[in-house]
Every structure is written in structure tokens, then in C-alpha cells.
Structure 1
Amino acid sequence: MKKKGLLTLIVIGIVLLGWLGVRLLGRPAPQELVAHGLERLNGAASFRYSMTEHQWIDGKERTLTQIQGEKDGGNSHISGQLVGSNVDMILAGGAFYNQDPFSKKWVRFVNTPGAEKVFLAELDPLSSLQLKELGEVVLKGQEKLGGVPVWVCQLRPTVQDQVMEEFWQDFAYTLYIRKSDGMIVKAAIEAKSKAKSEVMHLTLQFADFGQKFKIQPPNV
């Protein structure tokens, strides 16, 4: 009986070690996972996205940005709300267009680079994911996002975006990377204001990679 009990314990031990080995060996290297995910996302020809930004202002949490967008090559189209105002903007053919929320007429901006710079984060959500250094990357685990299995990685990088770098600090990123192909499908960004140490939360979600979007200049 003692030998049988000992044998049972040995078998259980082997099974547990095997399970632990699979768990450890099945986990990708966090740094490589994030680097590959960023490369894939930046290389996407087109995608649909959503952006939500919350900031703590005078002790109250406020939603400053809530938009939906499509990006196809150098063309972008966004609609939603910016700082409480309805917006509908198109960047197409090298020109920038904004729809007046009251008259519903489209206005073409001559100084396109200036307009692009002001609305860079909204028109090009990937600008918030241009990083100088990844810093330490931690693989927090895995979960399901909309029923899709994803890896969850956290990092504290240094950013390339000059506007973000000028006004914000202590960046903390949580990236959700699709297990099937290594594509980043969600990014949650947190930072503190340099002026008042108030917190900003920016959430980006991506979908419909490679789909063709009909983004054309509107009738002005």
C-alpha cells in the first residue's frame, strides 16, 4: 500500500511538473511580443478604431474624447465628440475637411499640416503608440476580449509624440495582443499631467484590419 501511495504521488508530481512546464514554455517573451505587436499594427494598411479619453479635471472625471474612426493608408475619417462638441472630420487626398456641427456644411482647411497636427491623435491613433523605448515589459497573463483570446502586457515606455511628452509624464501602457496573429487590438494608456499631476486615461481599440474603407473628399 505504501509503494502504491508513493507511486501515485510520483505520478501526480510528474503531471503537475508537466503542466507547469507547458504553462511556462507556452508563454511568449514579453518584450518580443510587444515589439512584434507594434510592428504589425504600424504595418496595417487599414483598420477601424475607437478612441475614448478621460481626464481628471478639478477633482472630477470628464470624458474629453469619444470617437469612431477609419484609417485607410493616408486617409482618415472620424466622427463623435471632442470636448463636448460633435465632430465629423475627413483627411483625404492631402486635404483636411471639417463639418460644421450646425450648418452641416463641410469646410476645407488650406493649412492641412497645421490641422493635422492639432488633431493628430484623433486622425492617426498610432501616434500614441510610437515609442522611443519600451522599458520593462511584463506579461500579466491572458484573457478574452470580445470572445477573442489575447495576451495582456504592461509597460512603462518613453513616447515619441511631442505633444504627449510635453504635457504628460509617468506613462503606463496596457496592450492587448491577439494570440492568433500577434496583432494589438486594444491599448489602455494612463499618464499624469506635468502641470497638476491629474490623471489621463486613453483607450484605443482596433478592428477590421485590411478592410477597404471609402474615405473620399466631401462636397464642399
Structure 2
Amino acid sequence: AYFEKSSELAIRGIVIYFNENFMGDHIMDKEEMAVLKKLFVRSMRGIEFYGQKKTQVIRMMHDLLEMRGMQSVIQLLALLETLSATREYHYISSTTFDNRFDQSETDRMNMVYEYVLKSFRQKIELKDLANLLHMTPTSFSRYFTMKNNKPFSKFVTEIRIKHACKLLTESDDSIAQICYECGFNTVSNFNNQFREVMFKKPSQYKKEFMSI
């Protein structure tokens, strides 16, 4: 199995971050959006998709990575609509699953997400987030990992790499400029972190995008 120390297997994933009200409360309250709201409720138990729809959604997610602006919003809505309409899924947890994210928990995590999105270009101290949630740094670190299934440092890195991908495809900035613009301290560290998330160097990512 891939989790064994001697294994050479690897897994890849695409993570799309968005708030469930990313279109605004007025839009999400419209009748046409009811199917998406139901999808978000179902997703609280965890959903695994399979079959042809799974293949279709994977392709849509890969396409989304190459899109920008309004085109990316439209693609995200199309992706969510596809997920909401299919019956090719099953729940990961049972009906007795106790969701840890009540409204107060959601609000707390949104505070963290918003802080990171505003501050990722700078050095982010764990104690600053801990103070935001009135916790000790150790407690916050444990809390974030439990709620997101990943360490806080990995979350910040993913946000920075996502922004780097945007700059690599939309600007003429050098690798070094993009490195510091995204909050990394050294180019070597940026290259290593980028390769760990995207499975290729920044220069290779830019070259492949430009050849499309």
C-alpha cells in the first residue's frame, strides 16, 4: 500500500477552497441554488463519488486549474451542479455521524481562512492565529489539524502555491519575484515546496502552460 515506508506509490489530489456562500447570500438563497445547498448539507457526512460522473468531475477539476476569472467561476458552478445531480455516490460516514463544524466552528475557521488569504504574502506566525481564536499556539495547531485533516503549515503552503500558479501563468515576473511575492523566504525552498504540491518545478509548470 502507498502508506508503507517501502512503497514507491504516491497519491495526487486537487483541493478547491471556496466558501459555501461564495456567490453571496442573495444568490444562494434563490430557488435555482437549492440543489447546491442540499449538496453542501450532504457533504457534511463526507461523500465519495464513483462511476462515469467521477471521471467527468476529475476532468472538470483539471480544466478548472487552467481557468481564470469569470471562466473559473462558471466552471466551478458547472462542477458543483454535476455533483449535485448525480446518484453515483455514497456517504463516507453513517447517519449517526456528529459533524464537528457547527455554525460557531464554521465562523471560527472562516476567520482563519480569511486571515491567511489576506496575509499569506507575509510571514504568518502561529501565535497570531492562536490569539485570533483565543488559544495557545499548541492548542490552535492541534485544533486546526483535527478540523482540516492537515497541519496549518501545509494549508498555508497550498494557498501560496496556488497564488504562485496564478502569477506563473498571468505575469512576466521571474521565479524569484514570484517566490517572494507568495511569501517564501528563499527560491530553493519555493522550488521544493512547489514541486511537492504540483509535482513539477515552477519553471516547468510555466513552460507547460505556455505551450498549450
* TM-score (norm: length of structure 1): 0.22
TM-score, normalised to structure 2, is: 0.22
Return the structure number with greater helix share: 2
Higher relative contact order (CA 8 A, sep 6+): 1
